Amino acid sequence: TSLSGTDKVAKATRNQLAYADTILMNKIDLVKEDKIKSLKTALRQLNPVPVQLTIRSQVKDLHKLLSLQAYKPDAAEAAIQQALEQPSSSHSHSHGHGHGHGHAHVHGEKCAHGCDDRPHVR
């Protein structure tokens, strides 16, 4: 299993996985065990931080999944920094944080990019 690729979807996927705090792998009953192990290894190389959850065919305990409260920015940043400082045989470059986070408002004429002023949120 490889997380390589050059198209925009592959790059966006790698960025999301690199900064994920939880990775949910659904319908693993449809995939051979060796492929699952290979994927888990590739994910750990890309991001050693997240909790990896595997589900057979459907989420039976959705409350448990939604109440993880897994995101801890300080711990995530420290682990990401540590991972970036360690040499890797499979990656010779670092991954940038190339995606937005819930940019949920419309910019007015006087609203700068990156503004998170609550009155603008719709």
Comparing 10 with 62, which gets the higher pLDDT? Answer: 10
H-run or E-run covering 24:
strand 22-25
**Which residues 6+ apart lie within 8 Å of 59 measured at CB?**
26, 65
- Indicate the pTM of the whole model: 0.46
pLDDT digits (tens, 9 = 90+) for 27-43: 888 889 999 999 999 98
User: Which residue from 51, 101, 96, 99 is spatially nearest to 75, judged by alpha carbons?
Assistant: 51
Rounded Cα distance, 67 and 31, in Å: 27
